[in-house]
Chains A and B, each alone.
Chain A
Amino acid sequence: EVQLVESGGGLVQPGGSLKLSCAASGFTFSGSTMHWVRQASGKGLEWLGRIRTKANSYATVYAASVKGRFTISRDDSKNTAYLQMNSLKTEDTAVYYCTTHNWGIGGPWGQGTLVTVSS
Chain B
Amino acid sequence: QSVLTQPPSVSAAPGQKVTISCSGSSSNIGNDFVSWYQQLPGTAPKLLIYENNKRPSGIPDRFSGSKSGTSATLGITGLQTGDEADYYCGTWDSSLSANYVFGTGTKVTVL
**Chain A interface residues toward B at CB < 8 A:** 35, 37, 44-47, 50, 61, 63-64, 97, 99, 101, 103, 106-112
Contacts and interface: CB of A to CB of B under 8 A. Distances in A.
Contacts of B2: 44
Interface string B70-102: 000000000000000000101000001111111
B57 A45 contact: no
B21 interface: no
B101 A97 contact: no
7 contacts: A44-B88, A45-B37, A61-B98, A64-B99, A103-B56, A106-B47, A107-B50
Given A44-B102, A106-B57, A109-B44, 11 more contacts: A35-B100, A45-B102, A47-B102, A63-B99, A64-B96, A64-B97, A64-B99, A101-B50, A103-B56, A106-B56, A107-B50
A47 B99 CA distance: 8
Interface residues of B, number: 26
Nearest to B88: A45
B65 interface: no
B55 to A, nearest CB: 10
A111 B107 CA distance: 20
A112 B2 CA distance: 22
A46 B45 contact: no
B89 to A, nearest CB: 10
A44 B104 contact: yes
A43 to B, nearest CB: 9
Contacts of A64: 96-97, 99
Nearest to B103: A44
A103 B2 CA distance: 24
Contacts of A108: 47
A37 B46 CA distance: 13
B60 interface: no
